[in-house]
A and B are shown apart, each in its own frame.
Chain A
């Protein structure tokens, strides 16, 4: 299991040919209290860097992008009911959606944890 990061502050956890995607703790701290999350539909085919989900605070809406291409195979319905999970457990319970990875070579452009830490420092 590997966890990678994007410069837009998504995390992506790879298990076989499935990728789980969420936003980083740094992202949630910048967003503030999350009041609404919109998730992609299961079955939707996402292209790398496409807007896939939306996360909204009291003040503003932000897009969550697909870090890689793939088909949405599962979404975290718990987030719709309890958006504040993004603030309390961004890297864990607050995962957004799972993708069936279309092209593993796209993973090459993502950051590992050390690189991401440097990116947000």
Chain B
């Protein structure tokens, strides 16, 4: 991107703080975001796994879905018209991972849906947020009022020392379990807190009014256990955790079944369930649940040290000329001290332990299909 284009980039409420902390700012999803801080990607990654990483994810979309009837079940039922998840079953104070699907069964975006008692709170990807909001308005305006919360920042705090980091600010979060979510006071500010994240570590995502974001983050960073982390380490952390990056590992051409996200589709929405189907692409997705899909997202571990990156073609053996798949995310996993990747393979070759080859700079490098997450998660269930 040209330097002159930077002026068109949006800034989060934490922009000045990033610059003051030496963040290397890059364009990302229309925002100017820190890709790394002076510590560097490797140390930021390892620090998150050993202490606490603080991520600015304010570029992501925060949306409220408020039922016109006043009954949150009506908002849940309405949202179920757009996602293959059971939203009705999400209890007040709980959150669930979901996907917006299209008529072909592809994924328009992936998101988090929380039940806040009288309304639903959604967090969607930055690059998709305008389309997601329009999608919700186009399909759910009959029964719901849709609000995009543009005046809030979103901070992720991730890592094993996260509970004590928040306790120092008087936040009552120790009773929360993985995927609990709701309004909480943090440092006296009115926040929405969920015990979740994108690193595989125990952690929280905190939505805070934009005007108080810098004060909150400044307080958090006074704790030497807490370091700011850029997009670079965010990517290597989520890759080790086996988590999908929308637009890379899943997109409009991949279904939840192909994306190995069956676990996220509850039985109630599958064939024979209480509210089976009724979401875009249900015919294709439910048929794939029964008959299987032709291809599948898998984890890949290299036998050597060379990272295999996004876009590398996959082959069944060292010589065949026809590619059988593609790497959709790949790099070096600092916690494993080894390369890690994910990609799509024909389902017949998607079994753990299967050897395939990636083409990197004209050479065929051996890889093995491997279970994910690559690094065990430490969620507090």
For chain B, residues 11 to 49, give those with C-beta under 8 angstroms from any C-beta of chain A: 35-36, 40-43, 45
Known: A32-B36, A36-B332. A58 touches B306 (CB 8 A): no
Across the two chains, which residue of chain A brings its CB closest to B40? A32
Shortest distance between the CB of B26 and any CB in chain A (Å): 11
Q: A56, B332: Cβ atoms under 8 Å?
A: yes
Complex contacts, A56 vs chain B, CB 8 Å: 306-307, 332
Q: B331 in the interface, Cβ–Cβ < 8 Å?
A: yes
Q: A35 in the interface, Cβ–Cβ < 8 Å?
A: yes
CA distance A80 to B306 in the complex (A): 10
Known: A58-B45, A58-B232, A59-B331. A36 touches B307 (CB 8 A): yes
**Dominant secondary structure of chain B at its interface with chain A:** mixed
Complex contacts, B309 vs chain A, CB 8 Å: 61
- The residue that B332 contacts in the complex, of A35, A38, A54, with Cβ under 8 A, is A35
Q: B95 in the interface, Cβ–Cβ < 8 Å?
A: no
Complex contacts, A38 vs chain B, CB 8 Å: 306, 361
CA distance A80 to B334 in the complex (A): 16
For chain B, residues 314 to 371, give those with C-beta under 8 angstroms from any C-beta of chain A: 331-332, 334, 339, 361
Complex contacts, B361 vs chain A, CB 8 Å: 38, 54
Across the two chains, which residue of chain A brings its CB closest to B230? A59
Q: A3 in the interface, Cβ–Cβ < 8 Å?
A: no
Q: B236 in the interface, Cβ–Cβ < 8 Å?
A: yes
- The residue that A59 contacts in the complex, of B232, B305, B306, B339, with Cβ under 8 A, is B232
Q: B305, A58: Cβ atoms under 8 Å?
A: no
Complex contacts, B334 vs chain A, CB 8 Å: 35, 58
CA distance A26 to B339 in the complex (A): 25
Complex contacts, B236 vs chain A, CB 8 Å: 58-59
Interface mask (A26-68 → B, CB under 8 Å = 1, otherwise 0): 0000001101101000000000000000101111010000000
Known: A58-B232, A58-B332, A59-B232. A35 touches B40 (CB 8 A): no
Known: A58-B331, A59-B232, A59-B331. A35 touches B36 (CB 8 A): no
Shortest distance between the CB of A56 and any CB in chain B (Å): 5
CA distance A72 to B297 in the complex (A): 41
Q: A57, B306: Cβ atoms under 8 Å?
A: no
Complex contacts, B233 vs chain A, CB 8 Å: 58
Q: A61, B307: Cβ atoms under 8 Å?
A: yes
CA distance A61 to B43 in the complex (A): 18
Q: B42, A32: Cβ atoms under 8 Å?
A: yes
Known: A32-B41, A32-B42. A80 touches B36 (CB 8 A): no
Complex contacts, B339 vs chain A, CB 8 Å: 36
Complex contacts, A35 vs chain B, CB 8 Å: 42, 305, 307, 332, 334
Residue among A35, A58, A61 facing the most chain B CB atoms (10 A cut-off): A58
CA distance A35 to B332 in the complex (A): 7
Q: A57, B305: Cβ atoms under 8 Å?
A: no
Complex contacts, A54 vs chain B, CB 8 Å: 361
Complex contacts, B35 vs chain A, CB 8 Å: 59
CA distance A73 to B336 in the complex (A): 34
CA distance A56 to B43 in the complex (A): 16
Query: Which residues of A line the B interface, CB within 8 A?
Result: 32-33, 35-36, 38, 54, 56-59, 61, 80
Q: Which 10 A-B pairs have the closest CB atoms?
A: A33-B42, A35-B332, A58-B41, A32-B40, A58-B332, A59-B232, A36-B305, A58-B236, A33-B40, A56-B307
Query: Which residues of B line the A interface, CB within 8 A?
Result: 35-36, 40-43, 45, 232-233, 235-236, 305-307, 309, 331-332, 334, 339, 361
19 residue pairs A–B, Cβ–Cβ below 8 Å:
A32-B36, A32-B42, A33-B40, A35-B42, A35-B332, A36-B306, A36-B332, A38-B306, A56-B307, A56-B332, A57-B332, A58-B42, A58-B232, A58-B233, A58-B331, A58-B332, A59-B236, A59-B331, A61-B307
New A-B pairs, 5, CB < 8 Å, besides A35-B334, A61-B307: A32-B41, A33-B40, A36-B306, A59-B41, A61-B309
